[in-house]
Amino acid sequence: MAKVSHEFDLYGKHYKLESGELAKQATGECLVSCGDSTVNVTVVVSKERKNYDFFPLTVDFIERMYAVGRIPGGYLKREARPSEKATLTARMIDRPIRPSFPDGFRNEVQIVAMPLVADQVNSVDTICVMGASVALTVGGVPFEGPLACVRIGRNPETGEFLVNPTYEERDASDLDLELAGSSTFISMLEAGAKEISEEDMLAAMAFGQEAIGAFCEEEKKFFAKWEEANGPIVKREYELDQPIPEVHDRIWAHYDEMSAALKDADKQSRISKVEALKQAITAEFSEDEQVEWDRAIPVELKSLEKHAMRRMVVETGERVDGRTATEVRPLMIKPNYLPLVHGSGLFQRGQTQVLSVCTLGMLNEWQRLDTIEPVDGKRYIHHYNFPPYCTGETGRMGSPKRREIGHGNLAERALLPVIPSEEDFPYTIRVVSDVMESNGSSSMASTCGSTLALMDAGVPLKRPVSGVAMGLIQEEGKTVILTDIQGLEDFLGDMDFKVTGTTKGITAMQMDNKATGLTPEILRKALMQAHEGRMFILDAMLDAIPAPREHTKDTAPQIVSLQIPTDKIRDVIGSGGKVIRGIQDDTGATIDIQEDGNVFIAGTNGAAEEAAERIKAIVKVPEVGEEYTGRVVGIQPFGAFVELLPGKDGLLHISRVAKGRVEKVEDVLNIGDEVKVKVLEVDEKGKISLDRIDKPEAPAGSGKGREHEGKSRERRVGRHPGDHGNAGGDKPRPRRHHDA
């Protein structure tokens, strides 16, 4: 096998495809790069066919921290479980690849994408689909390729679309659209957007389809070089599960019974009827036939159910629960569903029910991310949980599965554009959506429930967000677009198209498409129908809670922010943290001081305000003319030291403690006394001179000793040793006196 390379430039970026040098024992391999970012993608297909009634495809995205020149954190210093980004990238690769395999393919397929270099300029995720497509092709695996994936951004100033923008370009973009497929067919779409219009989104999708075609053409050029170096690419022969006419005819004789069983709005009741019918049909086969056709029978039963549902929709316009194509299921919306929590909302649409709960925290509670991408972390976090009881099943409860991570990410992207900045709302925000009941589109219910929870918590969203899932049925030359699809329509339909947004525009989208005839006109109609559906849902949400609450709840931390001079940070922290710990212990507040002097203080029942005043007092510099009521903290022969603010003392000179001459400060003041003073002077070293306000009269006799001493000194001035009165008329020589 000879090594083959193909380099090319597209849309201002440099790419390279290479195969034939690494991982030669894999079925297929490709080293793909954009700029210096490089990913090795391998494909292995099992030699034996699995006894499954589904296609056993596994996709893994393996992050290696050496790709960015870092050692993994933690005790073991080894990469552990995949990050959320790694899981999302694996899903991104899986979704366009899976529908490209032929029906009945039952050999196990594993695709492993491993970034070797991440240059922190060009992303490593979208190029993995192109790498997988090349690896599958040179490995002779039968699939509908070539395939590619692109990310589309947009310059908000010029409106120019960008293909695979750099991280810097993505930060400035108002659109982040990833779409994958072939030169004529979009099979996967993910998008986050800053409230852009349906027309702009359609234009971006059309541009992205053209870009995919351009990358597919470059793959063909690589294949031509491969065949020139290694001979023709021959697709390997794999045994496919083929329909058995006898099984098909016997099962499809029950078409009318299946159609009747499907007509039930209650999910569990419908499932019971359909399963009972399937069991009855299976029982008509002998034991030997059931053994012989153990894969064919369940496949044909699933096919019967699928076509009965689809034909019902296209022929009668009626869905299994009796709704029309554009009808949304009944809604139940309850904000402020739970006591004490910072914010909550229950959202139910039909038999899909989600409870979302919002928790507010300090900014230093943001989520730190340890990935190969140049992203430190995030302050808005959304977690989605899909426990087995929500579908009436038993199962393992544990770490989130890929589906949960993907759905949580979609709801997070949907709301991120309307989350206020940390300057306007200095909190870390976490929303948890627990699916209590599911019959389709739980991710969109999570988006709606999260909006309710955020508004209930007093988070000043720019605009509320709602979402709806759209479906597509293409059967017998007819096309029907469905609003608010339920689980059966998702599973047996041709498209799952989720759209979220505000009254201003789209904030997120996700699409998985199995229909090859998805025209721009169908997409336009689906987006416009989705707009109507999500506006209907949003109106119902606003009837329940018209706007975010004006204030956060008493149970939520009240966060006060202030700016202090950076040279005062040391004073607030104190030696070994003594000062800041004392403030936190005394008030119960939590204090976060950042290097730039920003201070964020969180507490309940006025604790944050009390701690803020303590900090202001520490960093404040008294100014001339200001008046204070201070406490005497020290006494010296020349005056008293008065504490004006914590850590800020001024000198009240003995001459200013009272009216008249005072022999000792203790005659007027004692340690612990409170005294009203005014700032007279603050010198360049920060020393403060004070004057007492409303001075009392000096105590009687307080200055006598000093007056007597003064007279004695005067006599001594006129009579020096050797002098004899005032003989000779000479005047006594005066001595210079220096007041203390």
Nearest to 216 by CA among 119, 144, 289, 295: 144
pLDDT of residue 727: 38
- pLDDT interval class at 740 (50, 70, 90): very low
pLDDT of residue 561: 86
Q: What secondary structure does DSSP assign to 158-189, as a single string?
A: T--EEES--HHHHHH-SEEEEEEE-SS-EEEE
For residues 625 and 525, give the distance between their C-alpha atoms in angstroms, rounded to a whole number.
72
- Domain extents in the chain: 4-230, 245-316, 331-544, 558-619, 623-717
Nearest to 416 by CA among 461, 472, 469: 461
Q: What is the mean pLDDT of the chain?
A: 90
- pLDDT interval class at 713 (50, 70, 90): very low
For residues 392 and 386, give the distance between their C-alpha atoms in angstroms, rounded to a whole number.
12
Summarize the confidence of residues 112-130 as an average pLDDT.
Answer: 96
For residues 262 and 319, give the distance between their C-alpha atoms in angstroms, rounded to a whole number.
9
For residues 515 and 144, give the distance between their C-alpha atoms in angstroms, rounded to a whole number.
14
- Both tokens of 561, joined, read 């922010």
Q: Who has greater pLDDT, 56 or 623? A: 56
Summarize the confidence of residues 442-460 as an average pLDDT.
Answer: 97
- pLDDT interval class at 243 (50, 70, 90): confident
pLDDT of residue 478: 87
Q: Which residues contact 442 (CB under 8 A, 6 or more apart)?
A: 352, 354, 384, 386, 390, 407, 435
For residues 703 and 699, give the distance between their C-alpha atoms in angstroms, rounded to a whole number.
8
Is 490 marked within a binding site? yes
Q: For residue 71, what is the DSSP state?
A: -
- pLDDT interval class at 249 (50, 70, 90): very high
CA 138 to chain centre: 38
Q: Walk across the sheet containing 598-603 and list its strands.
A: 558-563, 598-603, 590-593
Question: For the CA atoms of 499, 501, 506, 510, what is the dihedral angle to 10 degrees?
Answer: -30
CA 671 to chain centre: 56
- Both tokens of 661, joined, read 């001459």
Crossing angle of helices 578-587 and 607-619, rounded to 10°: 150
Distances (CA, A) of 562 to 595, 611, 615: 13, 11, 9
Q: Look at residue 397 and tell me whether its pLDDT is greater than 60.
A: yes
- Both tokens of 67, joined, read 């790709």
Q: What secondary structure does DSSP assign to 114-155, as a single string?
A: EEEE--SSS-SSTHHHHHHHHHHHHTT---S---EEEEEEE-
pLDDT of residue 711: 41
Backbone angles phi, psi at 661, to 5 degrees: -80, 135
| pLDDT, tens digit, 9 for 90 and up, residues 363-377 | 888 888 888 888 888
Instruction: Check for a shared fold between 4-230 and 623-717.
Output: no
For residues 170 and 152, give the distance between their C-alpha atoms in angstroms, rounded to a whole number.
9
Helix and strand element counts for the chain (H, E): 17, 29
- Both tokens of 446, joined, read 């999570």
Above pLDDT 70, what percent of the chain?
94
**3-class state of residue 282 by DSSP:** helix
Nearest to 382 by CA among 423, 415, 333, 352: 415
Cβ-based neighbour number of residue 434 at 10 Å: 17
**Cis amide linkage into residue 146, ω under 30° from 0:** yes
The number of residues making up the chain comes to 740
pLDDT of residue 703: 60
Tell which CATH architecture fits domain 4-230: 2-Layer Sandwich (3.30)
Summarize the confidence of residues 247-253 as an average pLDDT.
Answer: 93
Cβ-based neighbour number of residue 116 at 10 Å: 15
For residues 471 and 480, give the distance between their C-alpha atoms in angstroms, rounded to a whole number.
8
Distances (CA, A) of 614 to 558, 578, 595: 16, 14, 19
pLDDT of residue 218: 98
| Domain 331-544, classified CATH 3.30.230.70, yes or no | yes
User: Do residues 454 and 364 make contact, with C-beta atoms less than 8 angstroms apart?
Assistant: no
**3-class state of residue 109 by DSSP:** strand
State which fold the 245-316 domain adopts.
Arc Repressor Mutant, subunit A (1.10.10)
Q: Look at residue 1 and tell me whether its pLDDT is greater than 90.
A: no
Backbone angles phi, psi at 630, to 5 degrees: -110, 175
Nearest to 419 by CA among 464, 357, 461: 461
Q: Kind of pairing, strands 57-61 and 107-117? A: parallel
- pLDDT interval class at 51 (50, 70, 90): confident
pLDDT of residue 206: 94
Q: For residue 528, what is the DSSP state?
A: H
For residues 211 and 181, give the distance between their C-alpha atoms in angstroms, rounded to a whole number.
11
User: Do residues 61 and 82 make contact, with C-beta atoms less than 8 angstroms apart?
Assistant: yes
Q: Kind of pairing, strands 148-154 and 175-181? A: antiparallel
Q: Look at residue 50 and tell me whether its pLDDT is greater than 50.
A: yes
State which fold the 623-717 domain adopts.
OB fold (Dihydrolipoamide Acetyltransferase, E2P) (2.40.50)
The CATH class, in words, for 558-619 is: alpha beta
pLDDT of residue 710: 41
Q: Look at residue 736 and tell me whether its pLDDT is greater than 60.
A: no
Rg of the chain over all Cα atoms, to the nearest angstrom:
38
pLDDT of residue 517: 67
**3-class state of residue 344 by DSSP:** strand
Distances (CA, A) of 484 to 328, 389, 441, 534, 703: 6, 22, 7, 9, 94
pLDDT of residue 545: 97
CB-count burial class (<10 Å; 0-12, 13-18, 19+) for 248: middle
- For CA atoms 444, 449, 450, 452, the dihedral sign is positive
pLDDT of residue 709: 42
Q: Look at residue 656 and tell me whether its pLDDT is greater than 90.
A: yes
pLDDT of residue 653: 93
Write out the H or E segment, with its range, that includes residue 564: none
pLDDT of residue 704: 56
Is 496 marked within a binding site? yes
For residues 409 and 383, give the distance between their C-alpha atoms in angstroms, rounded to a whole number.
8
Q: Look at residue 173 and tell me whether its pLDDT is greater than 50.
A: yes
pLDDT of residue 281: 94
pLDDT of residue 707: 46
| pLDDT, tens digit, 9 for 90 and up, residues 56-90 | 999 999 999 999 999 987 788 888 889 999 999 99
Conformational region of residue 518, where left means phi above 0, alpha means psi within -120 to 50, and beta covers everything else: beta
